Amino acid sequence: MTADAARLRLLYELGCAFAARIDLDELSAFVVQKCREVLDAEGAAILLCDRERNELYFPYVADVDATAGARVRNLRFPADRGIAGVVLRDGQPLRIDDAANDPRFYRGVDRESGVTTRALLCAPLRTHQGTIGVVQVLNPRSGGCFSDDQLSFLDALAGSVAVAIENARMYAQLKEQFLALQQAMHEHEQLLAIRRELDIARSIQQSILPQTFPPFPERTDLDVFAQMSPAREVGGDFYDFFLLDPAQLGFVVGDVSGKGVPAALFMAVSRTLLKSIALAGAPPDECLRRVNALLCLDNSAEMFVSVFYGILDTRSGEMAYSNGGHNPPYLLRRTGVVEVLEGTGGTVLGVLDNIRCAARRVTLQPGDGVFLYSDGVTEAMDTNGQLFSDARLRAVLQARNAGSSETLVQSVIADVIRYADGAPQSDDITALAIRYRAA
């Protein structure tokens, strides 16, 4: 096959390759290999310009000497050096017959690669965005020099190669963007699925807490109301109240360490244990001791819960209680006095085995009440990071002392939300109020 026929065949093959190949690495490797073969050269390479570093580098090389080709692929040099730098700058092809005696020739590549450049052709890779690099062929295998016809052929070929490389780059970018979009859509679908599961979990959690008020419509001696607002979809706070017998009301507020799903699961376990032990008739201190022992059996997550548990005798108004590291409730006297309930010196549950829980008693007079809450109330923050505080809670209770339990709880939570003034809720907010009225 004549040289002209080989070149025409190469143009045809490259046209087919440009249409069939959109992978940049595969296309460029094909181009340099075919250029070397058709121009019967020892080596061919595509040099691309790294604009950020202002360097030329050899991503694609075809060389008779595979070892030399591998060394060339690792080389970089300043984009204004050598014949390639001149062609990149001027945008015009060059034929060099005696590289060693050309002052523009950059010898650094020969030194690093072990290649000796005698003659070469270099053509710019022009695109609508400018010259992105050069295609270079060196050393005719027959010796001597390249011809002007070969330079013209390489220059013509370079135009198509540049467009193909640019298209392949655009395809690679589009593919990357498409994959990123696919990943984003997948993650969005996962988030929606998680959201649906969390919504279900929230509904389940709310359903296990008493939601019907008044809870004992036939009982005129009890006024009970409670509310829990989780900081996330599900929370670690809980409240409960239940009749141990017709004369005794058990009630509890708890706060699990942590947030989210782990806290919600630990909350469910803690509430279930406490209620089952309480309904068996255990007094407050013994109830907390047993719950702690069970929580400590297998607590690999090292979570804990603060709990206040009380029992109100509606015949006498006597209230027995034990506090496991929880915020001390407030007594709301019918005289208008608001006082902190005396502590029992207990600690949180789920950390230490064999803790000793103490119990105390206090007598409520008809019209007196008790207000229990979690630290999400007093530690709620405004936009400046200032806490709602115990003093502010006490002031709200003082102002609403004469109201019903529902009015009291809703007023406190409304004041906390108003105080936060749009600051994100950092903790679960729970409140439980009981007003005792003699039958």
Question: Per-residue pLDDT tens for 239-282?
Answer: 999 999 999 999 999 999 887 788 888 888 899 999 999 999 99
- CB-CB contact of 253 with 437 (8 Å): no
Question: Using CA of residue 368, residue 372, residue 376, residue 378, what is the dihedral sign?
Answer: positive
Q: Is the CB of residue 283 less than 8 Å from the CB of residue 300?
A: no
For residue 97 the two structure tokens come to 């017959």
Angle at CA 232, nearest 5°, toward 231 and 235?
A: 75
Q: Which two tokens stand for residue 385?
A: 């990071």
pTM: 0.60
| 338-371 residue pLDDT tens | 999 999 999 999 998 888 889 999 999 999 999 9
Query: What is the C-alpha radius of gyration for the chain, rounded to an integer number of angstroms?
Result: 41
Q: What are phi and psi of 232, to 5 degrees?
A: -120, -165
Do residues 137 and 35 lie in contact, with contact meaning Cβ atoms separated by under 8 Å?
yes
The CATH topology of domain 210-436 is: Phosphatase 2c; domain 1 (3.60.40)
**Paired strand residues for 319:** 312, 362
Fold adopted by 3-176: Beta-Lactamase (3.30.450)
Q: Residues 309, 284: contact at Cβ < 8 Å?
A: yes
Joined tokens for residue 254: 């708890």
Domain layout of the chain by residue ranges: 3-176, 210-436
Q: Nearest 5°: CA angle at 342, between 271 and 427?
A: 45
Q: What is the pLDDT of residues 60-75, one digit of tens each?
A: 888 767 787 788 888 9
- Name the pLDDT band for 225 (thresholds 50, 70, 90): very high
Give the end-to-end CA distance of the chain in Å, rounded to a whole number.
Answer: 116
Burial 293-315 (b: 16+ CB within 10 A, else e): ebbbeeeeeebbbbbbbbbbbbe
